[in-house]
Chain A
Amino acid sequence: DADVTQTPRNRITKTGKRIMLECSQTKGHDRMYWYRQDPGLGLRLIYYSFDVKDINKGEISDGYSVSRQAQAKFSLSLESAIPNQTALYFCATGTKGSNEQFFGPGTRLTVL
Chain B
Amino acid sequence: EDQVTQSPEALRLQEGESSSLNCSYTVSGLRGLFWYRQDPGKGPEFLFTLYSAGEEKEKERLKATLTKKESFLHITAPKPEDSATYLCAVGGDYKLSFGAGTTVTVRA
Contact = CB atoms under 8 A, between A and B. Distances in A.
Contact of B99 (A33, A42, A96, A100): A42
Contacts of A96: 94
A50 B94 contact: yes
Contacts of A41: 100
Interface residues of B, number: 24
Contact of B98 (A40, A42, A48, A94): A42
Interface stretch (A12-20, A62-70, A74-82, A102-110): A102-110
B43 A105 contact: yes
Given A31-B94, A40-B100, A42-B87, A99 B44 contact: no
B32 A99 contact: yes
Contacts of A44: 98
Nearest to A99: B91
Interface string B13-52: 0000000000000000001101010000111111001000
Interface of B: 4, 31-32, 34, 36, 41-46, 49, 87, 89, 91-92, 94-101
